A and B are shown apart, each in its own frame.
Chain A
Amino acid sequence: DTAVSQTPKYLVTQMGNDKSIKCEQNLGHDTMYWYKQDSKKFLKIMFSYNNKELIINETVPNRFSPKSPDKAHLNLHINSLELGDSAVYFCASSLETGRGGELFFGEGSRLTVL
């Protein structure tokens, strides 16, 4: 059973479109995250979310929005896609918030914007 699962794993779309990536974790964790990995493999935090609080990296454009229907899910919506949004997006979860807890990652979703 996959602990953190993301769908789709691959997504190819045109500039200007709106797309979503879904993430689910079955670990019972309280906190979920979205990270972006660019073509040079650099990983950057986008959002951290638990059932109380959303923390946004201030450098993330407001075209990106996380939506959490419940504790086990954190979906990523992207509006008006741009070429620079092409990347691998990783969902992650952790049990401990703010205490250096291990992050459990999904397998990533590769987004290609044409």
Chain B
Amino acid sequence: AQTVTQSQPEMSVQEAETVTLSCTYDTSENNYYLFWYKQPPSRQMILVIRQEAYKQQNATENRFSVNFQKAAKSFSLKISDSQLGDTAMYFCAFSPLYNAGNMLTFGGGTRLMVKP
């Protein structure tokens, strides 16, 4: 079974600064997908970024980028130029490459507060 751990329950950052959220996972799989989802106060979960483990290049989406360290089983999310709208819970998630049912395993979440 896979486990996903987010060691930072809460974090805060000043507007326009950069923040990094940590995620580690445990798996015996060699190929898999990793995700960061955002849950704003409205509750709806939104995909932020996705990384395929067989790709060495780190994924980027505008102000969001990841640092994927496969050997260390680490998948951190960097948010640059933080905006007030980035305030939310952030969840790291794991999916094996061949995953009957496509069921994600989520970490416990990190609550990010962006301060003006």
* A interface list, Cβ under 8 A from B: 31, 33, 40-45, 48, 53, 55, 57, 88, 90, 92, 94, 96-103, 105-108
The segment from B14-22, B60-68, B69-77, B101-109 found at the interface with A is B101-109
- Is A97 a contact partner of B108 (Cβ separation < 8 A)? no
Rounded to whole Å, the gap between the CB of A46 and the closest CB of chain B is 9
* B interface list, Cβ under 8 A from A: 32-33, 35, 37, 39, 42-47, 50, 52, 89, 91, 95, 97-106, 108-109, 111
Chain B residues within 8 Å of A44, by CB: 106
Chain B residues within 8 Å of A98, by CB: 98-102
* Subset of 24 A-B contacts with CB under 8 Å: A31-B101, A42-B106, A42-B109, A45-B103, A45-B104, A48-B101, A55-B100, A88-B43, A92-B45, A94-B102, A96-B102, A97-B101, A98-B98, A98-B99, A98-B101, A99-B102, A100-B50, A100-B52, A100-B97, A100-B102, A101-B102, A102-B47, A103-B102, A106-B44
